[in-house]
Structure 1
Amino acid sequence: MKGACHCGAVSVEIERKPDFINLCDCSLCLKLGGAWGYFASDEATVSGSTSSYRRADYEAPAVQAHFCATCGTTTHWTLTEHHPGDRMGVNMRIFEPAMLAGVEARTLDGRNWFGGGEAEHRRAIGKLGQDVFL
């Protein structure tokens, strides 16, 4: 599956649909407009030049957000040196909705999560292509 930013300068190709999509409501994700599918780094190929941003309000931010330098579309995030591992988040909004039909979308309570343990999901809100629109 291949998705791209609005202008097409940056694309992300993934080998499979995500297990689920997180609609996080933390202050960063709300502003980025992300709907995150999670993958190991070898499951996604990013093409094109991106700019990046790290939260300034955390001393040791977990992620670095990447976006198209031309149109500004958020494409993905990678883990920083503060949180080692092999995980990345891909903004599923860059894919055509029909490609994601049937994938569960979850509302993640990122506003009340501060990095310790797993964040809570407030509610599952349906499956994409049925009653949920990215």
Structure 2
Amino acid sequence: MKQPSTFALLVFLAACGGAPAAPDTPSEPALPDGAGDDVVDGDAAPEAVDTGIDCAKAEATCEGGVCTVMMNNTCEAPITCELHILALCQGETEVGEARGVGRDTFPVGYEGKLQAGADCEGRAVVGTQVDTLACK
């Protein structure tokens, strides 16, 4: 009597394709319309950033929740700059923002970097950008 049930099982499996269906995996949530349009990570070239003063030049590179600004202070006095960044963070079901701040004072003739990082608290970093750079 076991043979008819085994045969019926084989016929049933053949009709179903024989392979069990993969469990449903949640898809990545879509970003809201307009979110992330200007916030993109990747191998982008450094971009000029306005410092607010003519004698200080800056170029920023952002990736993975961190922005690095290369500073060049040609002013006749030290300057203090504050860098604000924005990162888009994607969790399993939501998209949010994380912000970071970096601040430093640069002597006359200084060429170096200023960094700020944003903590997405375990969520994936979708993109990172400079929000503002203000020097005085």
Q: Same fold (TM over 0.5)?
A: no
Larger strand percent: 2
State which structure, 1 or 2, has the greater radius of gyration over its C-alpha atoms: 2
TM value normalised by structure 2: 0.22
TM value normalised by structure 1: 0.23
